[in-house]
Amino acid sequence: MDRVILASASPRRRELLQLIFHEFEVIPTDCDETLPIGVDVKDIAQIIAQRKNEALGDVDSETLVISCDTIVTIDDVVLGKPNDRNDAEKMLRLLSNRTHQVISGVCLRYNGKVKSFSQITDVSFYELSDAEIFEYIDSDEPYDKAGGYGIQGAASLFVRQICGDYFNIVGLPVARLKKEIKALVG
């Protein structure tokens, strides 16, 4: 493998990928992120990760391309990034005192081979008071994150329990990613 490309603009994914590779390039891609209709919610992140990978176009056969997408779901409803303060408030109220799923879809491409997978982590929140919700949505933190929260920041105080990979919630399931890369690249 001569080169590694992370097809993502996420600073959190960049930071996490450094646990696997010391050197890699970051080349964000633009693709259609419209949610596919009629597709199982559990497959959406993986489909969008595949689109992001394909959007990079052709690369040298000795280049590993890694793309990822993360969604938050509850009751089979996908919670994207909040559009505004009201949207963030609705999301947090929906997540309050409940368990939701964070699903990261990953797509790897190397030497003509493509491997995709999804990782699911269950996250349970404590019941959130109005004061906690308003304090959080008054910060900048919820607005660029699926589900309206970032577990690595102040929202960590909302979490009662996690079942699964913590780093998956942050945006990149690094332990599984490393194993999948090894299986693909050899």
* The two structure tokens encoding residue 56: 């990079």
* The two structure tokens encoding residue 36: 């596919």
Residue among 40, 43, 58, 69 flagged as catalytic: 69
Determine the length of the chain: 186
CA nearest neighbour of 116 among 186, 69, 80: 69
Is 69 one of the catalytic residues? Answer: yes
Residue 152 CB partners (closer than 8 Å, separation 6+): 12, 170
CB 45 within 8 A of CB 36: no
Any idea which residues carry the catalytic annotation?
A: 69
